[in-house]
Amino acid sequence: MKYESYLEMPREPKSKDKKIWQDYFKKFQQRFIHNERAFMLYRTTSFEQKSIKKVNNEYKYLLENELIILSKAEEKYFRLFKEPYKTSQQIKNEKFQYWIPYLTRVDFVNMGAYMGNDVSLILMDNRYLVIEGRLDKDYKVIKAISKQKLIKSLINLEIGYWSEVYHSSEAIVEDGSSWILKFKCIKNKKYKEFVFYGDNCYPYNFDDFAQIAYIKDFVY
């Protein structure tokens, strides 16, 4: 199997030409897409906890540096052209951040050969009830989380940067598992749903989300 390498950062333009700067940001976006695909391949083909942690940490470090450099470049762009510029990933994240305070329900479901636990977080009286269910047991409330605490934790995770689908077509895994995660939000009469799906692969910081949502024994 041929593994793709993570791409290096594009060089920041020295020019004051707007089109050159916009092309630079497009390269940034293409790099993000390529690196996300490479991460999914690395992640899908990592099975031991040690190697999974290594892959996650490497990608986390890559993303954090990318966002710092991107932020500085956007500041320069604004100073030069007196208008903001944001990548599609940033716009997507801001949309998620906007809606998440209106979160009413979260549903996580495991599917596949090795079933973990299904978990729902349902808003009731300004707190979220964590409801856990397994195939061999009845559903039960295992925890209550304050709305303020959960919303703050989810915003800090920057889930809006996640891909909608975590799957590598280049990797073949037998007896694997799939999962689906839904965030349901209601603001006044407007409804918004964010859906993420994975096949033998999770986002780099999904273990942090699993802790927040009290998802135990999920299949890495």
Other beta carbons less than 10 A from residue 73's beta carbon: 19
Kindly calculate the radius of gyration of the chain based on its CA atoms and give it in whole angstroms.
19
For CA atoms 120, 181, 179, 205, the dihedral sign is negative
Summarised one tens digit per residue, pLDDT across range 98-136 is 999 999 999 998 876 555 568 899 998 889 999 987 655
Longest Cα separation, the chain: 64
pLDDT of residue 112: 64
Architecture of domain 95-212: 2-Layer Sandwich (3.30)
Summarised one tens digit per residue, pLDDT across range 11-65 is 999 999 999 999 999 999 999 999 999 999 999 888 888 999 999 999 999 999 9
Average pLDDT over residues 3-16: 87
pTM for the predicted model, two decimal places: 0.89
Give 183's strand partners.
Answer: 106, 194
**Mean pLDDT of the residues in the chain:** 89
